[in-house]
Structure 1
Amino acid sequence: MTMLFLTVGLPGAGKTTRARQLAKEHSALRLTPDEWMIPLFGEAEADGKRDVLEGRLLWLGLEALRLGTNVVLDFGCWSRDERSAIRWLVASVGASCHLVYVPVDHETQRARIVRRQSTTPDHTFPMSEADLLHWRTLFQEPDAAELEGHQVGGPPPGWPGWREWAADRWPSLV
């Protein structure tokens, strides 16, 4: 059975390093939006284009799974709903999903980001101390049930299914 590895964590946690390891270990296609945003748009967010890019990368990942290729999706996935939608989509194509949570304490995160910005400024984007603190308040840490791969529950209230929720979250998915 093909596998999608979904890296979960904040900027500077080491997700991309771990994603590269997983791709090598499992002969997997690695999809990392950060590596596309700056070359394509010159910035990390670019007026909503990141959501469009993530949708296309997610679509590509699902196609690769259908064809029998393992995938590493290096998105970060801060919300439980994002992770649940991706897990549901992966199951819908007959593959399995493994969440790879990469936690990081604030001091380590800050040091890694400062080092990244000083050594490879053309491969990263500005992140202030205020950004880092704010992002920690938005991040929903995966619980044991998620990490163990328990069944995905239903979508948030008002949504008929995860496919519809995902199509709204990532407009270019469908």
Structure 2
Amino acid sequence: MTKPLAVGLIGITGSGKTTLATALAARGVVRLSVDEAVHRLHGRYGIDYPEHEYGERERPVVEAVLAELVEHLRAGRDLVLDHGLWLRREREELRRTVERVGGQLLLVYLPVEKPELLARLERRNRRSDANVMNSSHVSEPALSQ
């Protein structure tokens, strides 16, 4: 019997995580999105609540999404976690969680060249959906640091 697969996406805002996660969902993989869950609960980042409150609002959502992830894996469903996983400790925690419930984790890193990233972010900043919420933080000067 094969273990259920959890795909974890690693990448900066604009790297293509949501695009890949959506493509996998179209093939029957369960897609879990932290940004979309925060958006459903709290509205638009920097518009419906102050930017500095994002971390406080995101924390319980991440916990809820991880609980949902466990339920799906226990039920034998493959899934993709549409969340940045920028920090090593986040990736290690995800690995422990997935393995604890008998799943296997595949981490996918999505690198993107700076000119392409800036073009993607410029297009995203014209939208108002849940997946735009962090675009304003990634600017050309921020990328040069």
- Distance (Å, rounded) in 2 between the aligned partners of 1:28 and 1:70: 5
1 or 2 for the larger relative contact order (CA 8 Å, sep ≥6)? Answer: 2
Give the deviation of 1:131 after TM superposition: 7.8
- Distance (Å, rounded) in 1 between the aligned partners of 2:141 and 2:93: 26
SS at match of 1:48: helix
- What is the aligned partner in structure 2 of residue 54 from structure 1? 62
Moved over 3 A (4+): 43-47
Q: Does 1:116 align with 2:124?
A: yes
- Distance (Å, rounded) in 2 between the aligned partners of 1:47 and 1:10: 16
Q: Equivalent residues in 2 for 1:8-157 (5 A)?
A: 8-25=10-27, 27-44=28-45, 46=54, 48-118=56-126, 120-123=127-130, 124-125=132-133, 126-128=135-137, 129=139, 132-133=142-143
CA RMSD between the two structures: 2.0
Q: Deviations over 1:52-90 (max 9, x none)?
A: 101100110111100111111011100111101101110
Pair 1:43–1:78, CA change in 2 (3 A): same
* Identical columns (%): 33
Residue 120 of structure 2 aligns with an amino acid whose one-letter code is: R
- Distance (Å, rounded) in 1 between the aligned partners of 2:84 and 2:141: 15
Q: Deviations over 1:3-61 (max 9, x none)?
A: 00111100000110001122233x22101112122232123453511111011001101
- What is the aligned partner in structure 2 of residue 155 from structure 1? none
Residue 136 of structure 2 aligns with an amino acid whose one-letter code is: M
Pair 1:93–1:82, CA change in 2 (3 A): same
Q: Which runs of 5+ in 2 are unaligned?
A: 46-52
TM-score by length of 1: 0.69
SS at match of 1:76: coil
- Distance (Å, rounded) in 2 between the aligned partners of 1:132 and 1:29: 33
Q: Deviations over 1:137-165 (max 9, x none)?
A: 7xxxxxxxxxxxxxxxxxxxxxxxxxxxx
Residue 67 of structure 1 aligns with an amino acid whose one-letter code is: A
Equivalent residue pairs, number:
133
Residue 24 of structure 1 aligns with an amino acid whose one-letter code is: A
Pair 1:70–1:112, CA change in 2 (3 A): same
